[in-house]
């Protein structure tokens, strides 16, 4: 349950747990399999388990599997919650991913008399596994399952063999965990594309979608590769390939602070993480200069010759991370004189993009487990491109499947709505852009240092904005009954407008849309009616060709009755006569402005969500890491 609560941020429509009872006192076939499931947040499962425990219904156990669900197939109901169970109730399975040939398999199983109690693709797998587990002609497999002996060991080998058989028949993506009351000391697992990692403990072992699930118990983790199968007892971890050949385990350390994430007195993780941004940015850009004052990125292990030869960059990401990519494009094109495309990861490979070995692909992902982005970088690498990952989670799938990694050091981001990861991602793309400019000769060492020195001043400027949040909070509290908000921005302010709108959508469930300010008169201005809230991100007045046009945009919407809320630089009085409210940010170079102008928009959405009584950290329908396509 503790591990599940650390993973709840990944999805929380429903949850469940399956517990094997220890074998009968006379060592006969094992006693029991107890399954408890509940709809909604994990607290509901905790309550159901406590009730069962009070009634003496929770057995002493040697193994258990659990699951929090973000619904893909079937509504969030108890029947559709995982674990799913075989018809005889003796085998349980949980699954992340999508089984793409589930319908065909379901038809075949139904024809053989298997009955289904759910709408999920997962239930197909548990019946397939049960069928193989009891198949007299099952392939034979023998391997180290320490701690099992006699009849339990024989059934343990059969369960591993059954998993090998089933994995070969599945199409799509999956992380599977299964256990049987016939082998209470064994958990068998398998993965394809969905995340799975093993935690190696003392006399106990763990499996999780990410290491956070067990980081409180062990920092020694074992990677599970594509199409690999795992057999875990309390005393052994056996990794094998899809044919069942035992492999050498690859250990890595997961000693990061994510398991200790607590609110530290803040009302929500989101509030805390918004206020951690000065530190997140500072830590992400820290220690990037070598002894000669040159920008050196130890995590980027791509030969400089390849970086010099790159003729295009494509940034792939989703959601907020994609908006960080949109901001990065302005800086990297300006500094490196290389064309930069920003593509939503889930669109990228279906676009049949032009990708060659001279294309540099940058994947931006907080979790490092976003399936759309994983599939995009796989496609890019198949085309010969080099991939640099900008991720916030060490040891994540995206970081392990990229050619180079540039870590953001934002610390664990628990709130589903991304804030400090966003600003840390932007800062990391600036570091990458300056590094490329230096390697490619577009910028001299002293120019890079100048840009870096200005970037190092951003954390204190972010703190300046955070210290003046009262106007933002008051404004938000007056808008609980608003049903739509328009966000406008130009140049690097445009992705900020998109991000501001996304925050409002995902936290307040209000329709919000970000537009390029110049686009307004080409149609969207028809949306402006009396009192329509319009939030405008205004460039610095020191860039008049951008600034003056946006001020005109404010006048255009104000003339049509809009309620204008403006994010503008301190001292920029040109906006005052057209703004109902002004959120101030300190003066800063245009390219760095997004790191400041997004802060009021984050605070605005967070405050309004709280004022509306919404769950700020776990908004409805969302998951922190979308590990299915
Ligand atoms: C951001 O507030 C959202 N939670 C979502 O758009 C998120 O940024 C997106 O799913 C990408 O996640 P990643 O950074 O972990 O890949």
Residue at 416 is within a domain? yes
- Region 379-403: what's the mean pLDDT? 92
User: Cα of 160 to ligand 1 centre, how many Å?
Assistant: 35
- Nearest alpha carbon to residue 155 among 18, 17, 20: 20
End-to-end Cα separation, the chain, in angstroms: 27
What pLDDT sits at residue 255?
63
Q: Give yes or no for residue 257 having a pLDDT over 80.
A: no
Q: Please check whether residues 413 and 521 belong to one and the same domain.
A: no
Contact 521, 556 (CB under 8 A): yes
Least confident of 155-169, 395-409, 469-483: 395-409
Residue of minimum CA distance from atom 8 in ligand 1? 320
Tens-digit pLDDT profile for residues 526-581: 999 999 999 999 999 999 999 999 999 999 999 999 999 999 999 999 999 999 99
Which residues, judged by CB distance below 6 Å to any ligand atom, belong to the binding site of ligand 1? 318-321, 365-367, 370, 373, 416-418, 506, 625-626
- For residue 322, give the H/E element and its range: helix 319-336
Tens-digit pLDDT profile for residues 97-120: 889 999 999 999 999 999 999 989
Residue at 414 is within a domain? yes
Q: Please check whether residues 247 and 266 belong to one and the same domain.
A: no
> How many other C-beta atoms are found inside a 10 Å radius of the C-beta of residue 168?
11
Q: Please check whether residues 360 and 477 belong to one and the same domain.
A: no
Residue at 572 is within a domain? yes
Residue at 514 is within a domain? yes
User: Cα of 424 to ligand 1 centre, how many Å?
Assistant: 13
Helix H, strand E, coil C: the string for 546-564 is HHHHHHHHHHHHHCCCCEE
CATH number at residue 200: 3.60.20.10
Residue of minimum CA distance from atom 7 in ligand 1? 319
Q: Give yes or no for residue 215 having a pLDDT over 90.
A: no
Q: Give yes or no for residue 393 having a pLDDT over 90.
A: no
Residue at 33 is within a domain? no
Q: Please check whether residues 180 and 243 belong to one and the same domain.
A: yes
Q: How far apart are CA 400 and CA 195, in angstroms?
A: 11
Distances in Å between the Cα of 430 and the Cα atoms of 330, 340, 423 are: 10, 13, 11
Contact 404, 428 (CB under 8 A): no
The H helix count followed by the E strand count for the chain is 19, 24
CATH number at residue 545: 3.40.50.10490
The residue to mutate among 70, 363, 399, 418, having the most atoms of ligand 1 within 8 angstroms of its beta carbon, is: 418
Contact 344, 299 (CB under 8 A): no
Question: Among 406, 435, 456, which residue terminates a domain?
Answer: 456
What pLDDT sits at residue 13?
87
Q: Please check whether residues 612 and 560 belong to one and the same domain.
A: yes
> How many other C-beta atoms are found inside a 10 Å radius of the C-beta of residue 274?
24
Q: For the chain, give the percent of residues with pLDDT over 70.
A: 97
Backbone φ and ψ for 21, nearest 5 degrees, come out as: -90, 150
Residue at 54 is within a domain? no
Token pair 């929090």 is at which residue?
Answer: 68
Retrieve residue 479's tokens.
């808008």
Q: Please check whether residues 317 and 206 belong to one and the same domain.
A: no
Strands 386-391 and 404-407: parallel
Residue of minimum CA distance from atom 4 in ligand 1? 417
Tens-digit pLDDT profile for residues 495-507: 999 999 999 999 9
Q: Please check whether residues 104 and 249 belong to one and the same domain.
A: yes
pLDDT band at 256 (very low <50, low <70, confident <90, very high): low
Tens-digit pLDDT profile for residues 473-532: 999 999 999 999 999 999 999 999 999 999 999 999 999 999 999 999 999 999 999 999
Q: Please check whether residues 541 and 396 belong to one and the same domain.
A: no
Question: Among 218, 253, 288, which residue terminates a domain?
Answer: 253
Q: Please check whether residues 239 and 224 belong to one and the same domain.
A: yes
- What residue ranges in 173-285 does DSSP mark as E strands? 174-180, 187-192, 197-200, 205-208, 220-223, 228-232, 237-240, 246-247, 251-253
Q: Please check whether residues 603 and 556 belong to one and the same domain.
A: yes
Q: Please check whether residues 245 and 271 belong to one and the same domain.
A: no
State how many domains the chain has: 3
Tens-digit pLDDT profile for residues 36-73: 999 988 999 999 999 999 998 888 888 999 999 877 77
The residue to mutate among 346, 366, 620, having the most atoms of ligand 1 within 8 angstroms of its beta carbon, is: 366
Q: Please check whether residues 270 and 395 belong to one and the same domain.
A: yes
Does residue 379 or residue 173 have the better pLDDT? 379
Residue 93 domain boundaries: 73-253
pLDDT band at 28 (very low <50, low <70, confident <90, very high): very low
User: Cα of 530 to ligand 1 centre, how many Å?
Assistant: 34
């Amino acid at each position: 349950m503790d591990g599940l609560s650390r993973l709840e941020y990944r999805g929380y429509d429903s949850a469940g747990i399956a517990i094997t009872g220890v074998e009968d006192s006379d060592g006969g076939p094992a006693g029991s399999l107890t399954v408890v499931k509940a709809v909604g947040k994990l607290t509901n499962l905790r309550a159901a388990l406590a009730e069962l425990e009070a009634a003496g219904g929770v057995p002493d156990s040697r193994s258990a599997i659990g699951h929090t669900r973000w619904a893909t197939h079937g509504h969030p109901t108890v029947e559709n919650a995982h674990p799913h169970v075989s018809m005889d109730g003796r085998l349980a399975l949980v699954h992340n991913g999508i089984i793409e040939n589930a319908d065909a398999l379901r038809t075949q199983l139904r024809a053989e008399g298997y009955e289904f109690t759910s709408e999920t693709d997962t239930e197909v797998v548990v019946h397939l596994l049960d069928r193989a587990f009891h198949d007299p002609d099952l392939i034979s497999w023998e391997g180290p399952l320490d701690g099992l002996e006699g009849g339990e060991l024989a059934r343990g080998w059969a369960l591993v063999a059954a998993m090998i058989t089933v994995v070969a028949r599945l199409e799509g993506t999956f992380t599977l965990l299964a256990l049987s009351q016939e082998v209470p000391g064994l958990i068998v697992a398998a993965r394809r594309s969905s995340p799975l990692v093993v935690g190696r403990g003392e006399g106990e072992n763990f499996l999780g979608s990410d290491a956070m699930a067990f980081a409180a118990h062990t920092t020694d983790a074992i990677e599970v590769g594509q199409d690999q199968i795992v057999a875990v007892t309390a005393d052994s971890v056996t990794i094998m390939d899809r044919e069942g050949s035992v492999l050498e385990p690859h250990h890595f350390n997961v000693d990061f602070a994510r398991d200790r994430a607590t609110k530290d007195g803040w009302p929500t993780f989101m509030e805390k993480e918004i206020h951690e941004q000065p530190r997140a940015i500072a830590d992400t850009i820290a220690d990037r200069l070598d002894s000669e004052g040159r920008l050196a990125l130890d995590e980027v292990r791509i030969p400089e010759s390849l970086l010099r030869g790159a003729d295009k960059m494509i940034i792939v990401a989703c959601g907020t991370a994609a908006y960080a990519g949109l901001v990065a494009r302005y800086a990297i094109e300006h500094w490196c004189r290389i064309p930069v495309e920003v593509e939503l990861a889930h669109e990228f490979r279906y676009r049949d993009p032009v990708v060659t070995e001279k294309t540099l692909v940058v994947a931006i992902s907080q979790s490092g487990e976003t399936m759309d982005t994983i599939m995009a970088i796989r496609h890019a690498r198949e085309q010969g491109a080099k991939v640099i990952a900008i991720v916030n989670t060490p040891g994540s799938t995206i970081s392990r499947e990229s050619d180079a990694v540039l870590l953001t050091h934002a610390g664990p981001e628990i709130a589903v709505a991304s804030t400090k990861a966003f600003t840390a991602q932007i800062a990391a793309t600036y570091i990458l852009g300056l590094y490329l400019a230096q390697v490619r000769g577009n910028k001299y060492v002293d120019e890079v240092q100048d840009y870096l020195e200005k970037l190092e001043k951003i954390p204190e400027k972010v703190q300046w904005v955070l210290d003046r949040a009262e106007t933002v909070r008051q404004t938000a509290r007056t808008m609980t009954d608003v049903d739509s908000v328009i966000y406008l921005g130009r140049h690097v302010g445009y992705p900020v407008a998109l991000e501001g709108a996304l925050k409002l959508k995902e936290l307040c469930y209000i329709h919000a849309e970000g537009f390029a300010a110049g686009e307004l008169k080409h149609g969207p201005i028809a949306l402006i009616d009396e009192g329509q809230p319009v939030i405008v991100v205004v460039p610095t007045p020191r860039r008049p060709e951008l600034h003056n046009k946006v001020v005109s945009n404010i006048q255009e919407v104000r003339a049509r009755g809009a309620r204008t809320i403006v994010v503008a630089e301190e001292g920029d009085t040109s906006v005052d006569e057209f703004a109902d409210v002004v959120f101030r940010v300190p003066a800063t170079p245009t390219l760095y402005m997004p790191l400041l102008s997004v802060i009021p928009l984050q605070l605005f959405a967070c405050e309004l969500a709280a004022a509306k009584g919404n769950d700020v950290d776990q908004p409805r329908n969302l998951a922190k890491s979308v590990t299915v396509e």
